[in-house]
Amino acid sequence: MTSTTDSAVPANGSAVPVKRRRDRAAREREILDAAERIFGEHGYQGTSMDDIAAAVGVSKPLVYQYYGSKDGLFLACLSRLRAQLLDAVSDAIVAAPDAEQAMYAGFVAWFTFLDEHPRTWSVMVDEGMLSAGPAAQAADEVRAEFVGLIATMVRLNLPAGRPVDEEEIQIVAQSVSGATERLAVWRTRNGGTPSAEKLARTLQELLWRGLDSLRG
């Protein structure tokens, strides 16, 4: 009868069970998932590596082995959130049929992402960590890339032949970025309402009218 248990057979013929190790990438995802949730619930200062290790069911030394420190783990969370958020927004913009719909789709993607990752915003605006240092820089890079996407949409909506005023475009893009951040904070405090679609439609209509002044 053939055994279904994996084993290694050394030269002396005795079977030794093979211990399968969990894939490191999967373990890292589990740690980041737990860290994002706990940082989001308790903030940077209120979170310990013990909390995160216990939530995943691993030893604290293993978490340190993967990320080096609590700062390193927090930055890894920010890095992953940044990539996921910007990918979601970029994909929505690229898939839109025209520039006007691209603006609406980008806003929907932004707010929908926050709905699907309810602790994300808390991590990204953690006042206990983001006032200075590498974490603040990482959060600023998220904003800068989002501003860059908005600026591209503004340029696409300028009429052919109109001189491009980059300062004017940056004023609009920075203003839109700030508005979406404040709306995200307000909506979180308001229990997740209104819907992502209503927010996006209202914001898009407001800004679309404002962009008329740049087309003249």
Give dist(CA 126, CA 107) in Å, integer.
22
In angstroms, rounded to a whole number, what is the distance separating the alpha carbons of residues 103 and 154?
9
Fold of 77-215: Tetracycline Repressor; domain 2 (1.10.357)
**Percent helix, percent strand, percent coil in the chain, to nearest 5:** 70, 0, 30
Sketch the domain layout of the chain as residue ranges. Answer: 77-215
Q: What is the pLDDT, as a whole number, of residue 91? A: 94
The per-residue pLDDT for range 72-127, each reduced to its tens digit, is: 998 898 888 888 988 999 899 889 998 788 889 989 999 999 888 877 777 776 65
Taking residue 161's Cβ as centre, other Cβ atoms within 10 Å add up to 5
Return the pLDDT at 14: 52
Calculate Rg over the CA atoms of the chain. 23
pLDDT at 189 over 50: yes
**In angstroms, what CA-CA distances link 119 with 116, 126, 130, 196, 202?**
9, 11, 16, 16, 24
Helix/strand/coil for 10: coil
SS3 of 214, please?
helix
Asked if 204 and 182 touch (Cβ cutoff 8 Å), the reply is no
Kindly report the pTM of this predicted structure: 0.74
What pLDDT score was predicted for residue 150?
85
DSSP string, 119-188: THHHHHT-TTTTTSHHHHHHHHHHHHHHHHHHHHHHHHTSPTTPPP-HHHHHHHHHHHHHHHHHHHHHHH
How remote is the C-alpha of 74 from its chain's centroid? 13
pLDDT at 130: 58
